[in-house]
């Protein structure tokens, strides 16, 4: 192969890679900017954290195209590199809070909060996790009758004797007394409940499982209702607020961003925990016979400004198709 042929092959390869990177940027950057209302668009937003890869690749290949060509092709390479630079900067800004940031001082005894989507899973194994990890408040969602019966037969109700229950849609177990249990009007399921006499003092807990984005209009309605309920509570309640559950939304979806704009902080964000996806898990999702690893972070614990998250961990409950989220919460010291 002559040198000229090698050069043509190399330049052609650059164009192919640049085109693929541009497509990746379009799929994993534009939806985050536009908050689409279609099912596929909402699903694409969930994969935003992976967009840094094609963005950086587009920047590098755009520069390489500009260097390897002249005239109009060089100009196009410069444009591609500029698009790659902007996209890379956007993704760095979006990802940075997961990795860097200061943490307020905290004091007092902790409250350990765990949320677990429990459509599937071993109830006795869940009970062991509750015991071994010292869980004080447990939010379970997406349970059918059989799962709910299994949880009731386990030692969970013994360890956490106080219960807010609407028949298995979303339930909250607590080591401390619960009061003012109010089911929420959602297409999915949710409730607000008061935690009394806990180490962090009285607090309002929103236990949530909004509907999945399979019906995007309904998903948006649930998101708006959750945000409005939390906004109203924060405006009238001086005590701390905790939001926990399978929110069917990532940190990049507008409902979670709206909750953060109200002053709530995601537990993973609070401890600079990095990207910690929670779904799918447990080998429940398989493609071509291969188990799909966790790819999206849709299970959350968020806290208001009166609280500080000192530690967060994901919990692999056997059989569950979501990883649970465990957060250790203390009062902020001002």
Q: To the nearest 5 percent, what fractions of the chain are helix, strand and coil?
A: 45, 25, 30
Nearest to 328 by CA among 103, 154, 89: 103
pLDDT tens for each residue of 46-82: 999 999 999 999 999 999 988 887 888 889 989 999 9
DSSP of 141-182, one letter per residue?
A: ES--HHHHHHHHHSSHHHHS-EEE-SSSSEEEEESS-EEEEE
Class level of CATH domain 107-332 = alpha beta
pLDDT tens for each residue of 287-300: 777 888 999 999 99
What global pTM score does this model have?
0.93
pLDDT at 103: 83
HSE of 311, CA atoms in CB hemisphere, 13 A: 9
DSSP of 200-217, one letter per residue?
A: T-SEEEEEEEPPPTTSHH
pLDDT at 65: 87
pLDDT at 26: 97
Q: Give the domain ranges of the chain.
A: 3-98, 107-332
pLDDT at 117: 97
Structure tokens at 293: 């690893």
């Amino acid at each position: 192969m002559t040198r000229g042929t090698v050069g043509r092959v190399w330049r052609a390869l650059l164009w192919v890679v640049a085109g693929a990177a541009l497509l990746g940027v379009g799929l994993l950057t534009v939806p985050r900017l536009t908050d689409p209302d279609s099912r596929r668009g909402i699903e694409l937003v969930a994969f935003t954290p992976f967009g840094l890869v094609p963005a950086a690749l587009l920047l590098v290949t755009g520069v390489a195209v500009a260097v390897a060509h002249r005239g109009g092709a060089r100009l196009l390479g410069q444009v591609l590199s500029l698009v790659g630079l902007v996209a890379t900067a956007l993704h760095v800004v979006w990802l940075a809070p997961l990795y860097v940031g200061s943490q307020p001082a905290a004091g007092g005894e902790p409250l350990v909060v765990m949320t677990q989507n429990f459509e599937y899973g071993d109830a006795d194994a869940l009970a062991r996790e509750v015991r071994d990890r010292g869980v004080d408040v447990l939010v379970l969602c997406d349970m059918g009758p059989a799962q709910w019966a299994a949880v009731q037969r386990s030692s969970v109700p013994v360890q956490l004797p106080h219960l807010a229950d609407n028949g298995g849609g979303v339930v909250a177990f607590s080591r401390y007394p619960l009061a003012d249990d109010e089911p929420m009007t959602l297409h999915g399921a949710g409730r607000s409940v008061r935690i009394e006499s806990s180490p962090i003092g009285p607090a309002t807990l929103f236990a949530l499982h909004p509907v999945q984005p399979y019906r995007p209009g309904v998903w948006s309605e649930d998101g708006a209702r959750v945000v409005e309920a939390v906004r109203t509570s924060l405006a009238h309640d001086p005590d701390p607020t905790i939001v926990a559950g399978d929110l069917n939304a990532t940190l990049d979806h507008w409902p979670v961003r709206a909750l953060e704009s109200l002053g709530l902080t995601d537990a993973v964000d609070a401890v600079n925990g990095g990207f910690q996806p929670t779904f799918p898990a447990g080998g429940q999702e398989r493609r071509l016979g291969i188990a799909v690893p966790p790819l999206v972070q849709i299970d959350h614990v968020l806290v208001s400004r009166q609280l500080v998250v000192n530690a967060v961990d994901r919990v692999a409950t056997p059989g569950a198709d979501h990883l649970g989220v465990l957060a250790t919460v203390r009062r902020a010291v001002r």
